[in-house]
Amino acid sequence: MAVTMRDVAEKANVSIKTVSRVVNNQGEISETTRQRVLDAIRQLGYRPNIVARGLASGRTASVALIIPQITDPFFPELVLGVESVAHRQGYSVFLCNTNEDPQQELDYIDILSGKQVDGIILCGSRLDAEQLSAVATRHHVAILTSRRPAHAAVVSIPGRTGLRRMTSHLAELGHRKIGYVGLYWPGDQERLQGYYDGLAAHGIGANDRYVRMLPTITVDLARHMTRDLLHAAPEITAIACYNDLAALGVMQAAASLGRKAPEDLAVVGFDDIPLASLVSPQLTTMHVPKYMLGQMVMDLLLKVIAAKGDYEEHAYVELRMIVRESCGAKNRLPVG
């Protein structure tokens, strides 16, 4: 089998405990025995067994990262951010895709707490605030969500502020008939509210006919719904979107109706996924620092772990508007 501490101890003529001390740099040890142990370790090629350490110490140096879908272009960067700080701190990360299913989410929490992970990160959870709260009391958890679970460590994207700014941008370009293509998600209408805020800030009345809410956001669905929207209300000159994927669908719908963005329809997205700058016209959008977001939640989780679960905080990430082509600002078009 693998070489253990006992083997090292025998080879170095010391006790197991001494080996343990050397491996973990703890306690005072004479330099000579220290070197002797180190030599034995090197010669035998000893590697500590983290599982055994986990059983004895209760710490596994592993965390779980639970996300809805790694194929959603929002998440890869975030995952990378989480992993970077995790790795730097000696943690490994279990990746768990819930497929946007709350039950799978719960299942994963169960399974991984059984594997004694030191902490769990929940991103874009489909659980409601109460469930999240409950999970947070039972486990060491950091959450990325727009909900407001009580007594938890959470970081949020200020979606309401963000969409107010994007909508205002459109209004300031002269648009008055501004539509919205969003996500219908019970218990979270942050971004929709931001859209309304933006309209109100410019004295534009809200019009339900200008709004389409999708059960889930895909480019195809956004395209279909937007075709419908533009048929029902062709007077719309601009559309704000829940995110970039929706914005892409909106632009495709416009193109299919012979309306060119941004001249015939201004479009703004949200998130600034990699695609946003690769499509034509390039998407004006709200940049969400996804990598940093990942770092933030992992940092948060570290605090929760250090405080043995007794840590609360609600942080917000900063947004930055990226004006590209799809909104028409670059051409300063007068809009009727």
**Residues near DNA (CB under 7 A):** 1-2, 4-6, 13-18, 20-21, 23-24, 27-30, 32-34, 46-49, 52-53, 55-57
Token pair recorded at residue 287: 């940049």
* 178-183 and 62-67 beta bridge pairing: unpaired
How far apart CA 207 and CA 180 sit, in angstroms, is 10
24 binds a copy of itself (CB under 8 A): no
CB of 46 or CB of 75, closer to DNA: 46
Nearest approach, Cβ of 45 to DNA (angstroms)?
Answer: 12
Cα torsion 238, 243, 246, 248: sign? positive
Tell me which of a copy of itself, DNA, none is bound by residue 143, counting a contact when its beta carbon lies within the kind-specific cut-off of 5 to 8 angstroms: none
How far apart CA 37 and CA 12 sit, in angstroms, is 5
Q: C-alpha dihedral over 254, 274, 162, 320, to 10 degrees?
A: -130
275 binds a copy of itself (CB under 8 A): yes
161 binds a copy of itself (CB under 8 A): no
Polymer length of the chain: 336
* 62-67 and 119-123 beta bridge pairing: parallel
308 phi and psi, to 5 degrees?
Answer: 55, 40
93 binds a copy of itself (CB under 8 A): yes
109 binds a copy of itself (CB under 8 A): no
Nearest approach, Cβ of 109 to DNA (angstroms)?
Answer: 17
How far apart CA 184 and CA 186 sit, in angstroms, is 6
Nearest approach, Cβ of 281 to a copy of itself (angstroms)?
Answer: 10
55 binds a copy of itself (CB under 8 A): yes
How far apart CA 100 and CA 105 sit, in angstroms, is 8
Tell me which of a copy of itself, DNA, none is bound by residue 34, counting a contact when its beta carbon lies within the kind-specific cut-off of 5 to 8 angstroms: DNA
| DSSP letter for each residue of 217-265 | --HHHHHHHHHHHHHH-TT--EEEESSHHHHHHHHHHHHHTT--TTTT-
221 binds a copy of itself (CB under 8 A): no
22 binds a copy of itself (CB under 8 A): no
How far apart CA 261 and CA 14 sit, in angstroms, is 75
Residue among 27, 102, 234, 274 that touches a copy of itself (CB under 8 A): 274
Tell me which of DNA, a copy of itself, none is bound by residue 274, counting a contact when its beta carbon lies within the kind-specific cut-off of 5 to 8 angstroms: a copy of itself
Nearest approach, Cβ of 38 to DNA (angstroms)?
Answer: 12
Token pair recorded at residue 264: 């015939």
Nearest approach, Cβ of 19 to DNA (angstroms)?
Answer: 8
95 binds a copy of itself (CB under 8 A): yes
Residues 235-264 touching a copy of itself, rule: CB under 8 A, are 248
Binding residues for a copy of itself, rule: CB under 8 A, are: 47-52, 54-55, 60-62, 65, 69-71, 73, 75-77, 79-80, 83, 92-97, 110-116, 219, 248, 274-275, 278-280
